Chain A
């Protein structure tokens, strides 16, 4: 029940958004994320968008992670 999958917003129509993942489209409620825009990547749970993915944060994490693994590796030696 708690599985929430990332989907892409295709269209916004009133209180609903059409979201898509792997070719499957679905109408979901946007009451919890009124600022959602077309092309946003979102997390959907029980028919509602619960949060919008932050591409900036994702990029930052990717950038630091390489360093982090190297660091961890060294510490272990």
Chain B
């Protein structure tokens, strides 16, 4: 492998008219910066961040509901660490924890199941968020809880599917996107073919990319090359991990537990069939069904422009609060909190 040679080809790539490509994965957002690949982009090539950070696209009412459930029904909230500092309408999990709400961070959703099993006297709600990559793990946990006949483990369904979100962005035409760098690990689950519609229905090229510096360079080169071609295609730079049909076992497990439903995305609104609801046979594990709560109407910080960011309309430095009122230490919006959020990536690596 001669990464220097590949890097040189990329940096010298001649693009006659400006090109905008979008990545749809929070880890890609960060890695393009961290590896410096964004710095060697040729002239006329622009990278737009898409709705790829699962924490960022989670709307405020989800966290508001989780916090209300914790207090009103005396439940322990278990969550991935990324969610802790995300601002809700009126607070955050971290702030509520300091006021006495039981909140536990887990690395794997299975840890939440284990906690519930070991503490039968307490009720545990796992905040089930994440894209196609995370949903299979969460589905296994719900199945496991049912197998173990746990009566004190629940999930708050908040999973989202990236494919319908990409369709909405393409349909809206709000942003001009010439091609996509597609998420490697989402694709590991759903498969290369799940993206064919971008080429067949929208006539745009895309490339599934891995996460190393050479992956990003190669995927970008492949996309630039495809853009010169008249037949749009979906290429797979990450074939060492991503198969044409994805991981059928994982998909089978997901759809044995969940069924597609509406989901609300920050900045985009409700997208039909873009979320995962629990199937009726798993209703006993559904926190929405078991713990009804009253929550005040959600509100957004008036200055925060995460919504526009997640649609690719602006970049973080276009937000007047960026780096001033809003920093990782005092984040105004989720896009600055999550390690995969575009504002956090720009703040850490790309303030220029």
On A, residues with C-beta under 8 Å from B are 1-4, 28-29, 31-34, 43, 45-48, 50-51, 53-55, 57-58, 60-62, 65-66, 68-69, 72-73, 75-76
B340 at the interface (CB under 8 A from A): yes
| Chain B minimum-CB-distance residue to A46 | B137
Residues 320-342 of chain B, each 1 if its beta carbon lies under 8 Å from chain A, else 0: 00000000000000000011100
9 contacts between A and B (CB under 8 A): A2-B185, A33-B249, A47-B107, A50-B250, A51-B189, A51-B247, A54-B239, A58-B240, A72-B13
Question: Cβ of B136 and Cβ of A29 under 8 Å apart?
Answer: no
Select A4's contact among B185, B239, B340, beta carbons within 8 Å: B185
Residues 114-142 of chain B, each 1 if its beta carbon lies under 8 Å from chain A, else 0: 00000000000000001101101100100
**Contacts beyond the supplied A53-B240, A61-B240: 15 A-B pairs with Cβ under 8 Å:** A1-B130, A1-B134, A2-B130, A2-B131, A31-B253, A33-B247, A47-B137, A50-B136, A51-B185, A51-B189, A57-B239, A62-B1, A65-B6, A66-B2, A75-B228
Separation of A72 and B241 alpha carbons in the complex (Å):
25
Question: Cβ of A45 and Cβ of B225 under 8 Å apart?
Answer: no
Interface size class of chain B, counting residues whose CB lies under 8 Å from the partner chain: 35 or more
Separation of A54 and B242 alpha carbons in the complex (Å):
9
- Shortest beta-carbon distance, B258 to chain A, in Å? 15
On B, residues with C-beta under 8 Å from A are 1-2, 5-6, 9, 12-14, 25-27, 54-55, 80, 82, 107-111, 130-131, 133-134, 136-137, 140, 183, 185, 188-189, 211, 218, 221, 225, 228, 237, 239-243, 247, 249-250, 253, 338-340
